[in-house]
Amino acid sequence: MSATDILERPRADYRRITVEPVTPVIGAEIGNVDLSQPLDPRTFNEIREAIRQYRVIFFRDQQLSNDALKAFGRNFGPLTPAHPIAEGLEDHPEIWERTIDEYRVRRTHNDTLPPGRTPPRDYKGWHIDITFVANPNAYSILYGVEIPPYGGDTLFANLVEAYRGLSPQIQNLIDGLQAVHRTSGYDFGRERKPRRDGRATGPFVSLHPLVRVHPETGEKLLFLNPGTTSHIVGLKERESQALLDLLYGEVTRPEYQVRFHWRPKSLVVWDNQAVAHAGPIDYAHFELPRAVRRITTAGELPKGPDGFTSRPLEGDLFNVLG
């Protein structure tokens, strides 16, 4: 679905929720729903339709306990552990709480890379969640717990539009390529403590198609991660880096983006199979308290246009909690 498709396509007949697009390409505000209560099938189907159309959706003024957050997330599928490397909350292992202090620590580890790795280009934190595993999560859900009055915004980009914006010649070039994704320098730089659940903490390395076919819509999209995608298989190093830089530039073009300004009790759901994000984008200058909680739902092995299916090269799959 292109931006033109969204503009020309008749808006869905939403009867249970309100849907207000934020941009023509990506993002919509959803209202008239209380996510702390169980959702009837018709209401949830409208929420799913909004995600298919706008890729990322925003809810305001949602009072959610940890149990209510998880109950809402299960509408999208089985929940994963909080993260392949980091642990979740002790009483809620599906929930990953991030504070601004963790981003400040991240800056101190930016130069800590495993042997043979060169520092990635600075693309201001843009990424798709956990692509260093072979089966990244399908959906990501982020809830604002402690939100300052300003700063800490998150950007989201439509990866389908980023692919469609390329010339047909470049599309043909990349449709059959694969790229290696590794745990990042930040992950290597952190002390990996044993997990309470006994899961391995990495390192993780996976081989993915450079172009992914969306498992629900069949659309092609760019599938790469600054700082995690190390190289394109079969290309010389300078060729690989030049092509990755070109594609990163497309992913981060402003016309494919929406910017979300957080307020307390805001909740965001995005299709991690079709959306890249960056945030909090100003953490290097940020001093105010900020905390968010994230849950993710199980995803499948990505497939490319040529039928190539992602596979792990090192480390386990991102399996759901048993």
Give the active site residues: 127, 129, 277, 294
> What sign for the dihedral angle of Cα 6, 7, 10, 14?
positive
Q: Please tell me the distance from the alpha carbon of residue 144 to that of residue 30, in angstroms, as a whole number.
A: 16
How many separate helices (H) and strands (E) can be counted in the chain?
8, 16
Backbone angles phi, psi at 187, to 5 degrees: -65, -40
Any idea of the CA torsion for 157, 160, 166, 169, to the nearest 10 degrees? 150
Residue 151, both tokens: 């700063």
Listed residue (140, 136, 179, 132) closest to 156, CA to CA: 140
Q: Hey, which residues does 306 pair with through a beta bridge?
A: none
